[in-house]
Amino acid sequence: MIKLRKKLTPARIIALGFAAVIFIGSFLLILPCSVKDGVDVKYIDALYTSTSAVCVTGLITVDVGTAFTPIGQFFLAALIQIGGLGVTTVGGFIIIAVGKKINLRGRNLIKEASNLNSGKGIILFIKSVIITTVFFELIGAVLSFLVFSQNYPPLEALGISLFHSVAAFNNSGFDNLGLSGELYSNVSLIPYQDNILLNLTTCGLIFFGGIGFLVIHEVINKRFRWKKFSMHSKVVIFMSTLLIVTGTLFIKLTEDVTWLGAFFHSVSARTAGFSTYNLGTFSNAGLLVIIVLMFIGASPGSTGGGIKTSTLYVLIQGIKAAATNKNEKGFRYAIPQGTFKKAAVITMIAFGVVISGTYLMLIMEPDIRFIDALFEVTSAFGTVGLSTGITGTLSVGSKILSIIIMYIGRLGPLTIATLWYFTKGERLEYPEGNIAIG
């Protein structure tokens, strides 16, 4: 028992926690009370949907609005919320709510899962995360209700608004509008592509959910004073803004969409997964832009996936430093030693997962175009949820592959890599060799 506890590192406990929630969710979604009469939801589709929800992705093989009852949609929203906030954070909140204390092991788990520097202030952090989440999701639901109430009865519009707000803030591209046809992922918010209020509300929820709770709290506590922000917050805000602006320009340049549509997809592509245009009609150039945005993803400590904005920033600064023979720095701070190495490892593992996943999918789905397979796999890894329309046509093997990739994407490639870490390190030292590079 003691040996088992030693082997259960924080990374492994977090991984097991997410897996447990996924399997519990899959069984909840096939209960008679969760599925509408006359609808046949196979277990593989329930497992796929549960994984997509817990990993806050949004890829679907059955349409949420037409397949699941209000109870089933409630279960799905709960899975999205747990997945977005993190199993450990939700577990910590439940412990606090029932009046119990979080032990040292629990604090360490929450610290690891939330990318915190120390275990101090964990209770306050959990409370602030919950309050922040409720605040943004309620505002999002109210603003969304103003739109959906024009097309749905009040009670139904309320349910759709709450579901949409939860999905958007947690950067999960699910919708329960019940409008999807054969190719489930192609509809999303297309009927509302010109609705400015819903577009901006959704983008706002995605943006704040994607920059991370630590950044949100720092911005509020330091009263929006840029000079007082930490290096992390400056990097996250700068990179998020740069990627949104750059993505908007490139999408507008390659596709026949409005500026609002280009802006929406630039925001949504970095892990949210909502779409207001049929991506199946996008050019290869436009799809490539979105693939790059999906691969980069959101920011550390957020509800989103991808390699993260800060990872890209560190890579750029590291390459710049190597090319100019200067130290790695940014915003008048020195980048911590070893950060570039970590960023490079994360990026290479992520690249390997996407390329390997695409290769395997092309083997199992020989009729699918390369760009569609690459798009689908990158969307799964980045926990985005966008699709060119092939998700509903995937074989069982490809669905299982997507499930694994979504799981890896939600936990993070580095976390997955450390699951097999057993020893404390090298005990032997070897003589330094010589190897030619470049």
C-alpha pair distances (Å), 58 with each of 54, 112, 184, 233: 10, 25, 11, 27
Please tell me the distance from the alpha carbon of residue 315 to that of residue 241, in angstroms, as a whole number.
Answer: 18
Task: Give pLDDT, residue 353.
Answer: 94
Residue 75 is predicted with a pLDDT of 94
* pLDDT tens readout for residues 170-217: 988 888 886 654 444 446 788 899 999 999 999 999 999 888 888 888
373 or 418, higher pLDDT: 373
Integer angstrom CA distances of residue 332 from 225, 285, 326, 337: 16, 36, 14, 15
Closest to 174 (Cα-Cα) out of 27, 284, 25, 301: 25
The pLDDT, as a whole number, for residue 181 is 44
What would the mean pLDDT of 330-350 be, rounded to a whole number? 88
Contacts of 231 (CB under 8 A, 6+ apart): 330, 331, 333
Sign of the torsion formed by the C-alpha atoms of 157, 158, 159 and 162: positive
Q: Above 60 in pLDDT, residue 425?
A: no
pLDDT confidence band for 427 (50 / 70 / 90) = low
> Where does the pLDDT of residue 226 fall: very low under 50, low under 70, confident under 90, or very high at 90 and above?
confident
Query: Is the separation of the CB atoms in 271 and 297 below 8 Å?
Result: yes
Residue 57 confidence (pLDDT) above 80? yes
Indicate the range of 170-179, 271-280, 385-394 predicted with least confidence.
170-179
**Within a domain: residue 426?**
no
Residues 125 and 107: beta-carbon distance below 8 Å: no
Q: pTM for the full model?
A: 0.89
Position 45 in a domain:
yes
| Position 436 in a domain | no
Asked if residue 422 is part of any domain, the answer here is no
Is the pLDDT at 408 greater than 70? The verdict is: yes
Residue percentage of the chain with pLDDT more than 70: 89
pLDDT at 212: 85
For residue 401, give its domain range.
Answer: 8-417
Please report the pLDDT score of residue 413 as a whole number.
74
pLDDT tens for 136-164 read: 999 999 999 999 999 899 999 999 999 99
- Highest mean pLDDT pick, 55-64, 175-184, 246-255: 246-255
pLDDT band at residue 301 using 50, 70 and 90 as cut-offs: confident
CA 382 to chain centroid, in Å, comes to 6
Residue 435 lies in a domain: no
Average pLDDT, the chain: 86
Query: How many domains would you assign to the chain?
Result: 1
**Position 377 in a domain:** yes
Give domain status of residue 382, yes or no: yes
DSSP 19-45: HHHHHHHHHHTTSTTTB-TT----HHH
339-364 helix and 396-411 helix, angle to the nearest 10 degrees: 170
SS3 of residue 281 by DSSP: helix
Average pLDDT over residues 56-63: 87
Please indicate, yes or no, if residue 207 is contained in any of the structural domains: yes
Indicate the pLDDT class of residue 61, thresholds 50, 70 and 90: confident
Which tens digit of pLDDT belongs to each residue from 69-103? 999 999 999 999 998 887 777 777 777 776 777 77
What pLDDT, on a 0 to 100 scale, did the predictor assign at position 327?
81
